[in-house]
Structure 1
């Protein structure tokens, strides 16, 4: 089944093999599609670094998750799922492209190329969808600040299953005739056929670009944008507590979005140029750089999403020192690890309540005589009433005119 879209009989010892399709056969020699020996060596070194670094980073994440039970929260299951898919890329994908780059040609034949293209496309889309699911879970946690329970785990499990099913649904069609998998760039890697300009191929590439790159990116931007907006609402009222939180989350969000764009947008743009541009517009040198950037996401994701996480960082330090991890406030949270405050509009339409996780005081903000905000106790509306302490949840109420 896998080799049904590949013509195995057309190939020379020193040429890239050709793939079958509705538009005929594509047959190009290595002199047409290859890099210089130095170029292949540079690519091999880059792939070796990405594969090694990504393998050990993601393996370390899985070891930490299995070693320390306090890491087994709903949101961390999503993080570990991302690491698992990236680890699989480093195991079933990168070694073959590394070996091909050292020799300057594809080594495991047409069927191996189809398998490589399918596996890497599937696992790459799994990571992209999981990143979107992770951002949306954090957004939902902000809107509904609750402790983790069986429902949270079921929702996360459903999100992981959806990510895998969604990815498989978009990567199986080339095996059955809607586009195809074949050599990419200098012929040492394989992916979706970006170059064949047929309605069949173009329609698949457009759908893949929209549904597997643009939509996940929009979900990420929307979810983290809402999270930042909620934090900024509170920072206007309680700057001493919320400013650091806002800055920390802002750095995290900007880092995630920039790395997402840096890793995947060049690859997507190159694919579109190869699809809609004139033949030969995308040179081997131009095609290999975006491909390396996309593969580098397997090494970058653990650093951004795991080691910037205080829970994993404490466990990592404990693993190095062979002792139990220090317990901090981050261990008291589960799916609400990145918690913002949520606005709740009362029935009369004039009051907005901002609710956030805290064990400190409950504070009510009302208008003073000058039209500004004043702070008082939550039990009453008096201007000088002392705050009421020992509440498990803070309710910040801002009264607006209108």
Structure 2
């Protein structure tokens, strides 16, 4: 039985039959080939990077901290996109048309939306968790996984809250104008569809972005304020590293997801055909590229993961921590308070029975303890 899908694009209504691999109007064979190459690259790189993250988690116990569990959740959701989403759009681009029918299109649209929103929400939760950690100025309890599991479960439930309604009548999933990918039916002008798209844009794209900007903005402010009072070269390097990471995080978020959201809104509220299939496929590819970008930014810029990655390449059993210091010497903790916030510092006490105690100038060692938020 032939399944016929009706869809509207800038050329009007066209039918796409199951097994019909012809290019839909407005998308050339050359464009399909280029999209297939890009999706193939994203599929291979995304699967490789995220699988490597999972391998590091399995092999090295040092990275299994509560906050890194949120990073693991991001990698799992990105890997699921690579396994259950990208291969079908890649095959459709190679053949020039959708291959697995209407029900397969709904399944594809639901899965990609679910995994994508899980990744976005997890990124915002990660930023807020780092913000709370730096704000409290205290060490994280590495044995307490309760909050991490709440964040992980919460991200999946929140994503399900916004991705299941199209399956039950509030909007719907269908083919995009390119004919090779499926998502929410952006082009429908009905009140039912428009209300869902507005809510999806606000609560699943704008809200996570605002939370990230708020959290990382305050982290930079707090760290800059603390490091400004302690003129240490190491601290300055950490501050510069933080600024670079924050810039990369927010820039990559905007680069991968904001074009998709904006094009979707233009398609929903603009004139029919204002976004051509060729232009419309670009934001979809950028959104899928986040499966490659996230591991590089959020995982391999993390020193713990990087050391374990190098150890894995060298086929060694344990990573070498060059920054680890032995603080078991006798020390006196001193609270330096400033505007209600404290920085833990330690002043080394020289032994009285040593020869150095009679010298005029005694050496003072200051070790600043603060959270490594990376």
**TM class by smaller structure:** 0.7 to 0.9
Counterpart position of 2:342:
355
Counterpart position of 1:291:
284
Counterpart position of 1:132:
124
Query: Greater relative contact order (Cα 8 A, min sep 6): structure 1 or 2?
Result: 2
Q: 1:331 offset after TM fit, Å?
A: 10
Question: What SS does structure 2 have at the residue aligned with 1:18?
Answer: strand
Q: 1:389 offset after TM fit, Å?
A: 5.6
TM-score calculated relative to the size of structure 1? 0.79
1:80 equivalent to 2:68? Answer no
Question: What SS does structure 1 have at the residue aligned with 2:339?
Answer: strand
Contact 1:185 1:283 in 2 (8 A): yes
CA distance in 2, matches of 1:86, 1:180: 23
CA distance in 2, matches of 1:361, 1:301: 41
Counterparts of residues 24-39 of structure 1 (less than 5 Å): 27-28=14-15, 33-39=25-31
Question: What SS does structure 2 have at the residue aligned with 1:239?
Answer: coil
Counterparts of residues 322-401 of structure 1 (less than 5 Å): 322-323=315-316, 324-329=318-323, 352-356=339-343
Structure 1: runs of 5+ lacking an equivalent:
1-7, 12-16, 333-342, 346-350, 363-384, 395-402
Spell out, residue by residue over 1:223-274, the C-alpha distance to the aligned partner (whole angstroms, 9 max, x if none): 0011000011113211324322211100000000000000000000000000
Counterpart position of 1:316:
309
Q: 1:217 offset after TM fit, Å?
A: 0.3
Counterpart position of 1:47:
39
Q: 1:65 offset after TM fit, Å?
A: 0.7
Spell out, residue by residue over 1:180-213, the C-alpha distance to the aligned partner (whole angstroms, 9 max, x if none): 0000131100000000001000000000000000
Spell out, residue by residue over 1:331-370, the C-alpha distance to the aligned partner (whole angstroms, 9 max, x if none): 99xxxxxxxxxx998xxxxx525434555679xxxxxxxx
1:59 equivalent to 2:51? Answer yes
Contact 1:270 1:290 in 2 (8 A): yes
Counterpart position of 1:368:
none
1:265 equivalent to 2:258? Answer yes
Spell out, residue by residue over 1:48-82, the C-alpha distance to the aligned partner (whole angstroms, 9 max, x if none): 00010000000000000110001110111111110
Question: What SS does structure 2 have at the residue aligned with 1:322?
Answer: coil
Question: What SS does structure 2 have at the residue aligned with 1:238?
Answer: coil
Counterpart position of 1:234:
226
CA, structure 1 residues 278+344, in 2 after alignment: closer, same or farther (shift >3 Å)?
A: farther
Counterpart position of 1:103:
95
Report the RMSD for the aligned CA atoms in angstroms. 2.8
Contact 1:78 1:130 in 2 (8 A): yes
Q: 1:329 offset after TM fit, Å?
A: 3.7
Q: 1:31 offset after TM fit, Å?
A: 6.1
Contact 1:358 1:392 in 2 (8 A): yes
Counterpart position of 1:171:
163
Counterpart position of 1:244:
237
Counterpart position of 1:304:
297
CA distance in 1, matches of 2:98, 2:180: 5
CA, structure 1 residues 294+357, in 2 after alignment: closer, same or farther (shift >3 Å)?
A: farther
1:122 equivalent to 2:110? Answer no
Question: What SS does structure 2 have at the residue aligned with 1:191?
Answer: strand
